[in-house]
Amino acid sequence: MLLARKGYRVLLVDKSTFPSDIMSTHYIHLAGVVRLSRWGLLDKVMATGCPPLKTITLHLGGLDLQPPRPADLPWDPIAPRRTVLDNILVEAAVEAGAELRDGFSVQEPTFDGDRVTGIRGRSNGNAVEETAKIVIGADGMRSRVAKSVNAPEYNTRETLSFGYYTYWTNVENTGAHIYFLEEVERGVLIFPTNDGKTCIAVGGAIDDFQEFRSDIESNYLKVISCVEGLLEQVRGGEREKFIGTADQPNFFRKPYGAGWALVGDAGYHRDFITGLGITDAFRDAEYLVEAIDAGFSGREPLDEAMAEYERKRNDIAEPLYEVTLQMASGEEVDPAAFMKFGAAMARMMPAELPALRTK
């Protein structure tokens, strides 16, 4: 969408067909919501009935904490269903002039020596090849593009946690809640979302995954029962199916090379505990488009602009990564790391915030 809006010819391929769902509890931090606003898409998201999350309460060691918000901002964090959010983003890309081919599975990039020259894939059972000046792998943490170009991985850490979530009716909307339940060594995330439903996730240490999955429903409800009043509410409602994973790798990848780039989870993946993946992907999409435009327009050598993309991404992501991993490992978060996390979150807010605020 961002490249098409700058006038570039964009071919957007995805193996899914839209609207599509993906495994995610889909909380979007303010820095992500502000980007939806500046892209002109926030009204569309809100019009789907996605409730603003007026408060976020952290329940920790007997304390209920509501982190202060920047004053007088007209936005709240949101947690739109991915069926809703992804569809709006795809439609906006098409509206901006991108050609969409969904149901198109990329098998691998094509090469001329070391340089990526396009993609090879399958669409409607047919083999298809397309050429491009740059191939951008926005294809998630198991990125085929990253694998084919052998994108170097660094700052890799072991998988620390697992999570299971589902959607319930009948849960009162009192904003978002994050519980750290020391007595059962589990966390609970509660995010009101579209259609009057509430996404409730339960997570824990990776070593407990097998035991938890041996009886998902009963283990999930046992944890839910530690949150006062929640079990009674969900018992009075209906739920969707349980979705869960222990596939939570933690890594950075070099996000560019000859004829290719990576963005979103393909370039950087972290545990889901801080709910940062979508906000990270939005931020990095802007950085990447800036770099490609600087290079393609001749304002800067492309390689230098792409190195700057990686530097800017890492500069913000590293302190977020550190705290995310400390939280996921169940460690007490180091206060100095937390200060850096807060500063990075603040730096993620766009510089032209005062102008956006009046829109």
Ligand X SMILES: Cc1cc2nc3c(=O)[nH]c(=O)nc-3n(C[C@H](O)[C@H](O)[C@H](O)COP(=O)(O)OP(=O)(O)OC[C@H]3O[C@@H](n4cnc5c(N)ncnc54)[C@H](O)[C@@H]3O)c2cc1C
Among 2, 3, 4, 27, binds ligand X (CB under 6 A): 27
CB 223 to ligand X: min, Å: 15
Is 138 a binding residue for ligand X by CB under 6 A? The answer is yes
Q: Are 192 and 77 in contact (CB under 8 A)?
A: no
Shortest approach of ligand X to residue 140 CB, angstroms? 3
Answer yes or no whether residue 15 interacts with ligand X by CB under 6 A. Answer: yes
Q: Is 38 in the site for ligand X (CB under 6 A)?
A: no
Please state the closest distance from residue 106 (CB atom) to ligand X, in A.
4
Interaction between residue 284 and ligand X (CB under 6 A): no
In the list 9, 21, 22, 207, the residue contacting ligand X (rule: CB under 6 A) is 22
Q: Which residue from 105, 150, 210, 297 is in contact with ligand X, where contact means CB under 6 A?
A: 105
How far apart, in whole angstroms, are the C-alpha atoms of residue 158 and residue 274? 17
What sections of 215-256 are H helices per DSSP?
A: 216-224, 230-235
Options 25-33, 49-57, 333-341, 349-357: segment touching ligand X (CB under 6 A): 25-33
Token pair of 151, please?
């994108």
Nearer to ligand X (CB atom), residue 272 or residue 341: 272
Contact window for ligand X (CB under 6 A) among 47-55, 58-66, 133-141, 150-158: 133-141
Q: Can residue 16 be called a binding residue for ligand X (CB under 6 A)?
A: yes
Q: Which of 37, 92, 139, 295 binds ligand X (CB under 6 A)?
A: 139
Alpha helices in 136-276 (DSSP H): 144-148, 209-213, 216-224, 230-235
Between CA 104 and CA 109, with CA 106 as vertex, the angle to 5 degrees is 145
| Interface segment toward ligand X; rule CB under 6 A; list 125-133, 166-174, 210-218, 258-266 | 258-266
Minimum distance between the CB of residue 42 and ligand X, rounded to whole angstroms?
A: 16
Q: Among 180, 204, 182, 202, which residue's Cα sits nearest to residue 191?
A: 202
Stretch that binds ligand X, among 3-11, 23-31, 39-47, 148-156 (CB under 6 A): 23-31
Element (H, E) at 120: strand 115-123
Q: What strands, in cross-sheet order, belong to the sheet with 186-192?
A: 63-65, 56-60, 176-181, 186-192, 198-205, 161-168, 243-245
Q: Please report how many Cα atoms fall inside a 13 Å half-sphere around the Cα of residue 312, on the Cβ side.
A: 19
- Structure-token match 């283990």, residue found: 219
Element (H, E) at 257: strand 256-257
> In sequence order, what are the residues at sequence separation of 6 or more whose Cβ sits closer than 8 angstroms to the Cβ of residue 134?
116, 259, 260, 261, 292
Size of the site for ligand X (CB under 6 A): 28
265 binds ligand X (CB under 6 A): yes
Which member of 33, 50, 176, 276 binds ligand X (CB under 6 A)? 276
Sign of the dihedral defined by the CA atoms of residues 331, 336, 337, 343, in that order: positive
13: left (phi over 0), alpha (psi -120 to 50) or beta: beta
CB of 39 to ligand X, least distance (A): 15
Shortest distance, CB of residue 262 to ligand X, whole angstroms? 9
* 273/298 with CB nearer ligand X: 273
Give contact residues for ligand X (rule: CB under 6 A). 13-16, 22-27, 105-106, 138-140, 144, 163, 245, 264-266, 272, 275-279, 281
